[in-house]
């Protein structure tokens, strides 16, 4: 049995935090504001995985009202999400994700992100596609107010 899931996340940029994307720290003037480390890529991937398994969403399992998730490394959230879907008999087939940001340039960091995510998930780097785009200076991403990410995944039982 195969199932498909889709995820989306967005966080506001702030000068108060480091930028975490795809499980790695990227040098930039601003990071993302959120309850955990606000890694929009990992959060979108987790929502895609949970959705594919019909297990609700990241906020249900890792609420932003919990002291346990405050400032949590999103790699932990991803690892626990993999454990949750595994309990239902699922494993990751593949992930395809897109990060939308004006700055910093994401493409140079993609191979390291892929390796980091593959290590956490326990899959091949070839099973994780990450792309980057801008919003052509339109909207909140274009005004550099935030960063968004989209992800789709295939899981197999």
Q: Is 96 annotated as a binding residue?
A: no
Q: Is 124 annotated as a binding residue?
A: no
Q: Is 140 annotated as a binding residue?
A: yes
Q: Is 136 annotated as a binding residue?
A: yes
Q: Is 134 annotated as a binding residue?
A: yes
CA 150 and chain centroid, separation:
8
Q: Is 36 annotated as a binding residue?
A: yes
Pick from 157, 151, 155, 156: which is nearest to 43 by CA?
Answer: 151
Q: Is 143 annotated as a binding residue?
A: yes
Cα 132-114-8 angle, rounded to 5 deg: 50
Q: Is 148 annotated as a binding residue?
A: no
**Largest separation between any pair of C-alpha atoms in the chain:** 45
Half-sphere exposure of 109 (CA within 13 A, CB side): 20
What are the binding residues for a divalent metal cation? 9, 11, 43
What are the binding residues? 9-11, 35-36, 43, 57-59, 133-136, 140, 143
């Amino acid at each position: 049995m195969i199932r498909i899931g889709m995820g989306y996340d967005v966080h506001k940029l702030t000068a108060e935090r480091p930028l975490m994307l795809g499980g790695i720290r990227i040098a930039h003037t601003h990071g993302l504001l959120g309850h955990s480390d606000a890694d929009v890529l990992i959060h979108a991937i987790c929502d895609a995985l949970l959705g594919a398994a019909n297990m609700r969403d990241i906020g249900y399992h890792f609420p932003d009202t919990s002291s346990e998730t405050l400032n949590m490394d999103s790699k932990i959230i991803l690892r626990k999400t993999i454990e949750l879907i595994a309990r239902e008999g699922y494993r990751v087939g593949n992930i395809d994700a897109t990060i939308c940001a004006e700055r910093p340039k994401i493409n140079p960091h993609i191979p390291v992100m892929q390796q980091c995510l593959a290590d956490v998930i326990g899959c091949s780097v070839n099973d994780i596609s990450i792309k980057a785009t801008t919003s052509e200076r339109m909207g909140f991403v274009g005004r550099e107010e935030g960063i968004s990410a989209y992800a789709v995944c295939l899981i197999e039982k």
